Amino acid sequence: MTEHSTGRHRPATPLNRATSLPPWSLIAAGAVAGGLLGGAYGLLQPPSYTATSYVVAVPTERSDPASALGFAQAYGRVATQLAVLGDAQVWAGVPVSTLQESVRTATSPDAPVVAVTATSSRADLAADMANAVSRALTRHAADTESATHVELQQFARATEPTEPSDASPAVTGLVGASAGGLLGGLALLVRPRRGADGPGRPAVPAPALAADVHGQL
């Protein structure tokens, strides 16, 4: 008779209790943790404001709309160059390096318009930087108007934004919860399966050697 009794129960260990949790608990825990981290990030990050000004390329009597469209594309690339930003820093009141980091331009393939967008933690500074770059760009275009036969005019000034342009804490929390739930699901897929021989161990057949020894006795 063997010393081990099948009626005895081993005391539950922390590992056994942890592996007895339902599978969806990993997904729920990941979603909750991700939501808390995402919401905290949205609350702690400084606000960011975005302002956009527009300039338009207008053909002169010696040019045509197609040429104006082509030069608008070129001016969109020139707007963030040092020659333009060097003049814009005087009106914006910030260094050229700040303009290089904060100002972006965009053009349209269908309209001779250049959009100058500036981003800052201050709403008034975002508008000032966008307007300063637009002003400097129109002045540089005026210096070459006799050769390009295209005039660059300010179409719309940037106004001071009233709300931040970055995501709210609710949105960042939702994104964090989704990412956390996804990571919890991946952890659920890769965790060891519970086999017949106990948690975390796959079921294996009895060793063949033990059967041979038993037969020889």
d(CA 28, CA 36): 12
* 41-75 residue pLDDT tens: 555 566 789 999 999 999 988 888 888 999 999 99
pLDDT-derived band at 175, boundaries 50, 70, 90: confident
Mean pLDDT of 122-151: 92
H or E element, residue 54:
strand 49-59
Mean pLDDT of 191-200: 54
Look at residue 130 and tell me whether its pLDDT is greater than 90: yes
In the structure encoding, which two tokens stand for residue 145, read together? Answer: 């108007």
pLDDT of residue 80: 92
In the chain, what are the domain boundaries?
49-156
pLDDT of residue 10: 54
Mean pLDDT of 111-119: 95
- Answer yes or no: are the C-beta atoms of 75 and 41 closer than 8 Å: no
pLDDT-derived band at 106, boundaries 50, 70, 90: very high
d(CA 68, CA 29): 58
d(CA 138, CA 119): 21
Mean pLDDT of 182-194: 67
**β-sheet bridge partners, residue 115:** 54, 106
- Answer yes or no: are the C-beta atoms of 84 and 124 closer than 8 Å: no
Q: What is the mean pLDDT of the chain?
A: 77
Give pairs for 43-47: CB < 8 Å, separation 24+: 43/169, 45/166, 46/121, 47/121, 47/164, 47/166
CATH superfamily of domain region 49-156: EIF_2_alpha (3.30.70.1130)
* 89 contacts: CB under 8 Å, gap ≥ 6: 95, 96, 99, 132
Per-residue DSSP letter, 10? P
